[in-house]
Structure 1
Amino acid sequence: MTAQFTVQHTLGERIALSVEGDSRVEVLSYVYRPDPEPYESRKPYAHPVRTLGGRLVSGYRPNDHRWHKGLQMTASHLSEQNFWGGNSYIHGRGYQRIPERVGWMRHDGFPTLDAAGDRVTVAEDLTWINNGGQEWARERRTLTAHSADPVAGSWALDWSIHLTNVRGEPLRFGSPTTAGREMAGYTGLQWRGPRDFTGARVLTPAGVGTDQDTMGAPAAEAPWLALSSAHDDVDAHSTLVFAHAPENLGPGAVHPSHWFVRAEPVPVVAFSWAFFEEFELPPGESFDYRYRVLVADGAWDVPEVERALAGHRW
């Protein structure tokens, strides 16, 4: 039997989800208030994210990349604007501080907040705005928390995006790699882990590997990957599983996805939708992606990951 979620909404600030077990654990805080620093690309994010055992599995404003904030939707290269945050990669010049390239995402409202006990669904409307104040895209974002299982020690978060171009001309989605930097294809939904996850084990359907083995791997060949690591301070491990919905990998997807993954020097995973090649979204057109993140206590192996994923229908 799955555990129940409780929801606390602090208006104008955040939505917090907790799970009742031996003790009450806040497993997710979704923060939608505007960030104070425009250079970090102000946008909503999920942090802290915790396991059912209370282990922290997200990082916030680390000293190496202040714009990394838990789990957040990003676009590192979008028609010469930066919705990732921080420095922008310019071919031949490297990473440059260009504040006028950094856009942001405005929270417009929550049309749905359905707290149904063992399943919570939050739908959010957002607008993507370039640095000059022009509205470029409308987004309907949906987060669904479900399958909190104290026996398995895990819970699931589904994150979907429906994005529509309202700019009036094509939006070009790319990455540092499409701009000329090899194997730096980060963009899309991005997770930053806590420092405990530095050097984490990387698992895929092919087995245990390294971040370099998996960097740039096509999602069609590896529809999921996981990072597992020991924590500081406590004798415990946690595992994060990142998975694509089946439609992300089929012919209906706007563009093929690849994995961006690092365990060293910092723990980062991104569901990159434009790793090696740009794609365009014409005016008035939309695209959709759905993702799943399993948050688990313990050092899972490949069979455990695959059993857990098979137990959760899309």
Structure 2
Amino acid sequence: MKTPHDTPVLRVAGRPVGRYVTRPELPGRLSPRPYLHPVTTLAGTAVTELSPADHLHHLGVGVAVPDVEGFNFWGGRTYVRDQGPTELDNHGAQRHAAFQLSDPDGFVEELRWVAAGAELLRERRTVAATELTDTAWALDFTFSLTNITAGPLSIGSPATNGRPGAAYGGFFWRARKEDGPPDVFTAGTEGEARIHGARADWLALAGATWTLVFAGATERTRRDPWFVRTTEYPGVGSSLAYDERLTVAPGDTVVRRIVTVVADGRLDRDGAAALIRKAVSP
């Protein structure tokens, strides 16, 4: 897989912790989009995967939506009601337009979401990396999607199209796959079955030698249910369209902000809560 174009590197305390690929060369069915990979802990452990064999369209960390007015900005097959996953010629692309700011600790980017020769959404993406401790840092990721068409745009998911529990679409982090599934827990519960679809303030994904702690950092983002997978594959996202479609009026903007703690070692509940509080505090 070639990545010949812009690839800014995020750094924390002088150490590289993430590479951002703006113009990846991908097969058409993967819905081209910018992504962060590899993302690493401060000790250098990779905590993302790119196009793993189980899901080729999982691209590190980014924004992916399977249904924007019927167009697929996720990759792979499209879930069709009463038909199931179907190969369709409906893939859109997120196109990097420009960096409005680019520093070692973050960037502000403008993107255009294009499908069938037309621009549907314009995105402003802000990403920042911040040191928390000598073993943990935070990735602050905000995306703002503006409908620039003359009519309303409807954002959906396989769940809203008839596949229960498959409400993926929005911010998504494909995590490191290891011999066993990672543990997942919140402040009050644990396990994929209990946390998938929950509206928890934060959730933690703990692997063999690393922990990721995710939090919605705005009121609207906190209301989005979490999409969680640990057994089939390790991944976490926030659901834009969990049980109903999200309609964006012409000129309106959808804003979401997710902060992720990236830590070496396996954090317990108290440790995870303390770090995420530090990461999202003003």
Which category of TM-score, normalised to the shorter sequence, fits these structures? over 0.9
Aligned twin of 2:166: 184
Deviation at 1:292, TM superposition (A): 0.3
Counterpart position of 2:238: 271
Q: Distance in 1 between matches of 2:4 and 2:103?
A: 16
Partner of 1:124: 109
1:198 CA drift (Å): 4.8
Q: Specify whether residues 268 and 164 from structure 1 end up closer, same or farther in structure 2 by C-alpha distance, changes over 3 A only.
A: same
Deviations 1:48-106 (A, max 9, x none): 010001111001111111110110101111111110111100111111111x2111101
Secondary structure of the residue aligned to 2:71 is coil
TM-score (norm 2): 0.94
Q: Which residue of 2 aligns with 1:61?
A: 51
- Residue in structure 2 matched with residue 18 of structure 1 by the alignment: 11
Match of 1:174 among 156, 178, 183: 156
Provide Cα deviations, 1:209-253, integer angstroms capped at 9, x if missing partner: 1111111112xxx111110011xxxxxx10001110133257xxx
1:16-95 equivalences under 5 Å are 16-19=9-12, 25-95=15-85
Name the count of aligned residue pairs.
Answer: 279
| Structure 1 residue runs of 4 or more that deviate by more than 6 Å after TM superposition | none
Over the aligned positions, Cα root-mean-square deviation in angstroms equals 1.7
Q: In structure 2, give the amino acid aligned to 1:303.
A: D
Using the alignment, how far apart are the partners of 1:197 and 1:301 within structure 2? Answer: 21
Q: 1:82 to 1:249 in 2, by over 3 A?
A: closer
1:163 aligns with 2:145: yes
Following the alignment from structure 1 to structure 2, what is the Cα–Cα distance between the partners of residues 190 and 311? Answer: 22
Task: Give 2:255's aligned amino acid.
Answer: D
2:121 aligned to which of 137, 142, 153: 137
**Structure 2 counterpart SS, 1:311:** helix
What aligned pairs does 1:89-104 form with structure 2 within 5 A after superposition?
Answer: 89-98=79-88, 100-104=89-93
Unpaired segments of 5 or more residues in structure 2? none
Q: Which residue of 1 aligns with 2:266?
A: 299
Residue 215 in structure 1 maps to residue 196 in structure 2? yes
8 A contact 1:225–1:243 mirrored in 2: yes
**After superposition, what is the alpha-carbon deviation per residue over 1:122-143, rounded to whole angstroms, capped at 9, x for unaligned?**
000000001x111001111000
Q: Distance in 2 between matches of 1:182 and 1:310?
A: 33
Asked if structure 2 preserves the Cα contact closer than 8 Å seen for 1:198 and 1:267, the reply is no
Unaligned runs of 5+ in 1: 1-9, 231-236, 251-255
**1:205 is aligned to 2:177:** no
Determine whether 1:246 maps to 2:218: yes
Q: Secondary structure at the match of 1:212?
A: helix
1:216 alignment partner AA: G
Report if aligned partners of 1:18, 1:26 keep a CA contact under 8 Å in 2.
yes
The aligned counterpart of 2:202 is: 224
Q: Identity of counterpart residues, as a percentage?
A: 36
Q: TM-score, normalised by structure 1?
A: 0.85
Match of 1:154 in 2: 136
